[in-house]
Amino acid sequence: MRLIDSHCHLNLKEFNGDVDNIVKRALCAGVKKMVVVGTDLNDSFKALELAHKYDSIFAAIGIHPHNTEAVTESDYQRLRALAGDRKIAAYGEIGLDFYRNHSPKSLQKREFARQLNLAAELKLPVIIHDREAHQEVYDIIVAEEGYRNGGVIHCFSADITWARRFVDLGFVISIPGTVTFPRSQMQKEVAEQLSLDDILIETDAPFLTPVPFRGRRNEPAYVEYVAREIAGLRNLDPDEIALVTARNCERVFHLDG
């Protein structure tokens, strides 16, 4: 199998001192590339540090909606200063989270709009986090022309109609390990019905561990189980799901090779 984990957080403390092992296990499982995604200034730097250390790792930099209350102008200046680094594949994750509301909604919206424009300035595709805010995320992307360099709606949690709307804007849709859960009917429907060329797969490790490892810490090696689930739903070979989603990821993030 040739797989890419389009979204993981090996930059978080859950992986402290363990990244060597995690990367080795991923490579053994056929995961050739991983995108390590930032959620604040410090872990964006950490993502880039890992990308410089490991050939198979690429970085995304950005401020997660949870952390927009604490963000400062100088944080953005420091992110902007990273522009041009070859191992930065995307800007993110950015967006809106109206489920947990760790930051006030108005701030989340303002910083999302601002970061869509920063991503455009840096000519980077975007990684979008959308939790119970589909319409607002969509409206802000349209208003700010946040589709200019493409990108992905990660951990997609809306229905097939919404998936197609975002695809029409030029985005791809990323399916996480929760698609293996028996009750994830809507996610299974998206994974089954959307054109395969518009789908990425991800772990969001250390979160959202798929069956059969549910309850443990997630890691990129387990992205295989997402590919297998989608293969089952579409009655296709898991190798084909792995290969096509890997190519999609390389296309969207302009990963070499």
Is 204 one of the binding residues for Ni ion (CB under 5 A)? Answer: yes
Q: Which two tokens stand for residue 234?
A: 């579409």
Query: Minimum distance between the CB of residue 129 and Ni ion, rounded to whole angstroms?
Result: 7
Tokens 């930032």 found at: 38
Residue nearest to Ni ion (CB): 204
Query: Minimum distance between the CB of residue 249 and Ni ion, rounded to whole angstroms?
Result: 15
Query: Considering beta carbons, is residue 156 or 238 the nearer one to Ni ion?
Result: 156
Query: Considering beta carbons, is residue 111 or 238 the nearer one to Ni ion?
Result: 111
Query: Considering beta carbons, is residue 31 or 238 the nearer one to Ni ion?
Result: 31
Stretch of 46-54, 110-118, 185-193, 199-207 lying at the interface with Ni ion (CB under 5 A)? 199-207
Query: Minimum distance between the CB of residue 39 and Ni ion, rounded to whole angstroms?
Result: 7
- Helices 160-168, 134-144: inter-axial angle, 10-degree rounding: 10
By rule CB under 5 A, what count of residues binds Ni ion? 1
Run of H or E residues at 37? strand 31-37
Stretch of 51-59, 171-179, 198-206, 212-220 lying at the interface with Ni ion (CB under 5 A)? 198-206
Query: Would you say the C-alpha torsion 70, 157, 222, 3 has a positive or negative sign?
Result: negative
Of 165, 166, 160, 155, which is closest to residue 132 (Cα–Cα)? 155
Stretch of 162-170, 204-212, 224-232, 237-245 lying at the interface with Ni ion (CB under 5 A)? 204-212
The 10 Å CB-count burial string (b at 16+, else e) for 204-242 is bbbbbbbeeeeeeebbbbbbbbbbbbbbebbeeebeebb
153 contacts 128 by C-beta, under 8 angstroms: yes
Subset of 156-185 contacting Ni ion (CB under 5 A): none
- Output the CA torsion 26→27→32→35 (10° steps): 30
Stretch of 118-126, 173-181, 200-208, 242-250 lying at the interface with Ni ion (CB under 5 A)? 200-208
**Contact set with Ni ion (CB under 5 A):** 204
